[in-house]
């Protein structure tokens, strides 16, 4: 699928086909996409545990639910639990030097082994890794980057995906999560039982509400023709039609016996 | 025995019907779901308004209402008991249990609906 189409097609999927298994190869493609995400210090901030529906007992699934992560947790054939690793700095100096040797961090831009030891790692990364607030911020951003690549890879593979909260204490115990991993999000994966695009794009505020040119207060102005081009390439699509969506929800509720 | 007519005018039932747009549904459907809730009311010994109130507690310091996790679990246990008592099986069991959950959901109690599948997960 074209890149822009993938971005446009992605929406949170809430109704998965519980009887249509997901090919493990597609899950690997998602993990490979996450593994290609841009990252500071070339570190492994991001961890994930893939769980197929029948890998855990029903009681554990029940305990993993939060008030809003309920039906979809029962329907999704695959769950990916994403974590951030607070021990990301370990081995950081060596990884940076490897990038220097490869020329990814070029001498032309001031990089050297000495700079890595004394400044980049010694004065920036290592002290930051000991500050819980700063580390949590850094780890969270890294996880967001990786998780999004996995989401888009899934859409490209024809899968439905959605991110959700989960009961992290239960997951920690059930999945044997180490203490230095902090919980991020649960990604549910499966083939959509609903419209593959979740019934259309969700409302978003226009660019000028959030993006600025030169300084805060000067909203980014739409450049004529750009949105038309994005509509043609599939990044911008029709918004949700509430009536059509409600009808679809009624049909899905009927199929799965869900409350209405 | 509580009947559909007994509960139809309760605030929480009216709210459920309005919010779920059940008001416009065929009469026999309305009667059926009211009957399911009435039976649940009998089993628990609580009126619909009391069932909703039961799911919330108030914070000691601020008096703010919050959803009690324990009471939601209790609600699910009563729902299971109700299904067993009525002898509902298969899809009927799930659908009727979810009628009660739908009533609770529209009254602000996010209680996950059970999913009905042709093949239960374990036997698939
Ligand atoms: C990081 C993240 C966490 C989310 N957590 C939940 C959740 O716990 N429960 C839920 O029902 N939806 C959750 N969602 C989905 C959103 O509530 C909502 O459906 C989404 O913003 C709609 O936009 P989209 O369809 O473009 O993804 C989450 C979404 C994101 C990105």
Nearest CA owner, ligand 1 atom 5 = A164
SS3 B10: coil
Q: Is any atom of ligand 1 closer than 6 Å to the C-beta of A8? A: no
pLDDT of B120:
52
The answer to whether A189 and A25 are in contact (CB under 8 A) is no
From CA A116, how far away is CA A92, in angstroms rounded?
9
pLDDT classification of B119: cutoffs 50, 70, 90? low
Angstroms from A253 CA to nearest CA on chain B: 9
Q: What is the ipTM of this complex?
A: 0.84
User: Which residue bears the tokens 């969506």?
Assistant: A245
| A12 Cα to the center of ligand 1, angstroms | 6
pLDDT of residue B121 exceeding 60? no
pLDDT digits (tens, 9 = 90+) for A133-175: 999 999 999 999 999 999 999 999 999 999 999 999 999 999 9
CA distances in angstroms from A30 to A21, A35, A52, A57, A128, listed in the order given: 16, 9, 15, 25, 30
Q: Which of residues 230 through 259 in chain A touch B, CB cutoff 8 A?
A: 256-259
pLDDT of B124:
40
Chain B hits for A63, Cβ within 8 Å = none
Beta carbons of A54 and B121 less than 8 Å apart? yes
Indicate the burial class of B27 (C-beta count within 10 angstroms; 0-12, 13-18, 19 or more). exposed
Q: Which residues of B82-110 are buried (b: 16+ CB within 10 A; e: fewer)?
A: bbeebebeeeebbbbbbbbbbbbbbbebe
Q: State percent of chain A over pLDDT 70.
A: 100
Q: What's phi and psi for A87, nearest 5 deg?
A: -100, 25
Average pLDDT over residues A173-180: 96
| A188 Cα to the center of ligand 1, angstroms | 11
pLDDT digits (tens, 9 = 90+) for B60-77: 888 888 888 899 989 999
Beta carbons of A256 and B115 less than 8 Å apart? yes
pLDDT of B69:
85
pLDDT of residue A44 exceeding 50? yes
The answer to whether B22 and B57 are in contact (CB under 8 A) is no
Nearest CA owner, ligand 1 atom 4 = A164
Strand partners for A161: A12, A189
| A209 Cα to the center of ligand 1, angstroms | 21
pLDDT digits (tens, 9 = 90+) for A182-224: 999 999 999 999 999 989 999 999 999 999 999 999 999 999 9
Nearest CA owner, ligand 1 atom 16 = A12
| A199 Cα to the center of ligand 1, angstroms | 15
The answer to whether A29 and A80 are in contact (CB under 8 A) is no
The answer to whether A75 and A193 are in contact (CB under 8 A) is yes
pLDDT of A185:
97
For the CA of A14, the nearest atom of ligand 1: 11
- Chain B residue closest in CA terms to A70: B112
Q: Is any atom of ligand 1 closer than 6 Å to the C-beta of A12? A: yes
Q: Is any atom of ligand 1 closer than 6 Å to the C-beta of A71? A: no
| A235 Cα to the center of ligand 1, angstroms | 19
Beta carbons of A257 and B95 less than 8 Å apart? yes
pLDDT of A67:
75
Average pLDDT over residues B82-93: 96
| Three-state helix/strand/coil letters over chain A | CCHHHHHHHCCECCCECCCCCCCHHHHHHHHHHHHCCCCHHHCCCEEEEEEEHHHCCHHHHHHHCECCECHHHHHCCEEEEEEEECCCCCCHHHHHHHHHHHCCCCHHHCCCHHHHHHHHHHHHHHHHHCCHHHHHHHHHHHHHHHHHHHHHHHHHCCCEEEEECCCHHHHHHHHCCCCCEEEEEEEEEECECCCCCCCCECCCCCHHHCCECCCCCCECCCCCCHHHHHHHHCCCCCECCHHHHHHHHHHHHHHHCCCC
Q: How many contacts, defined by CB atoms under 8 Å, are there between A and B?
A: 54
CA distances in angstroms from B107 to A129, B15, B41, B103, listed in the order given: 46, 7, 15, 7
Beta carbons of A257 and B115 less than 8 Å apart? yes
Beta carbons of A259 and B98 less than 8 Å apart? yes
SS3 B56: strand
For B86, residues 6+ apart whose C-beta sits below 8 A from its C-beta are B39, B96
Average pLDDT over residues B101-116: 91
Q: Is any atom of ligand 1 closer than 6 Å to the C-beta of A204? A: no
pLDDT of A58:
87
pLDDT of B113:
78
- Chain A residue closest in CA terms to B117: A256
pLDDT digits (tens, 9 = 90+) for A50-100: 999 989 998 888 888 887 788 999 999 999 999 999 999 999 999 999 999
Chain B hits for A67, Cβ within 8 Å = 67, 110-112
- Residue A49 sits at the chain B interface (C-beta within 8 Å): no
Q: Kindly report the number of other CB atoms within 10 A of residue A130's CB atom.
A: 9
Average pLDDT, chain A: 95
């Amino acid at each position: 699928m074209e890149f822009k189409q993938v971005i446009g097609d992605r929406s949170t999927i809430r109704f998965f086909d519980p009887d249509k298994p997901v090919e493990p190869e597609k899950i690997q493609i998602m993990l490979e996409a996450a593994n290609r995400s841009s990252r500071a210090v070339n570190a492994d901030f991001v961890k994930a545990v893939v769980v197929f529906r029948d890998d855990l007992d029903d009681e554990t699934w029940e305990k993993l639910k939060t008030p809003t992560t309920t039906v979809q947790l029962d329907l999704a054939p695959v769950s990916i639990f994403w974590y951030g690793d607070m021990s990301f700095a370990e081995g950081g100096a060596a990884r940076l030097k490897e990038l220097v040797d490869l020329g990814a961090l070029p001498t032309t831009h001031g990089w050297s082994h000495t700079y890595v030891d004394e400044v980049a790692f010694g004065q920036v990364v290592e002290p930051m890794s000991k500050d819980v607030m700063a580390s949590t911020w850094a780890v969270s951003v890294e996880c967001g980057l990786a998780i999004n690549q996995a989401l888009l890879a899934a859409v490209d593979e024809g899968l439905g995906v959605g991110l959700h909260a989960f009961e992290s204490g239960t997951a920690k115990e059930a999945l044997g999560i180490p203490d230095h991993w902090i919980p991020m999000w649960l990604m549910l994966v499966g083939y959509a039982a609903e419209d593959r695009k979740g019934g259309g794009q969700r409302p978003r505020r226009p660019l000028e509400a959030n993006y600025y040119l030169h300084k805060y207060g000067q909203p980014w102005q739409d450049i004529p023709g750009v949105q038309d081009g994005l509509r043609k390439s599939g990044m911008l699509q029709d918004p949700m039609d509430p009536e059509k969506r409600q009808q679809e929800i009624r049909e899905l509720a009927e199929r799965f016996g869900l409350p209405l | 025995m509580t009947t559909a007519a007994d509960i139809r005018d309760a605030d929480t039932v009216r709210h459920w019907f309005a919010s779920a747009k059940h008001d416009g549904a065929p009469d026999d459907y309305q009667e059926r779901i009211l009957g399911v809730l009435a039976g649940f009311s009998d089993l628990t010994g609580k009126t619909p308004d009391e069932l909703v109130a039961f799911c919330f507690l108030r914070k000691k310091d601020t008096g703010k209402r919050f959803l009690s996790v324990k009471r939601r679990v209790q609600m699910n246990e009563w729902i299971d008991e109700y299904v067993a008592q009525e002898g509902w099986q298969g899809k009927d069991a799930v659908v009727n249990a979810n009628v009660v959950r739908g009533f609770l959901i529209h009254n602000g109690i996010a209680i996950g609906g059970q999913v009905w599948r042709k093949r239960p997960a374990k036997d698939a």
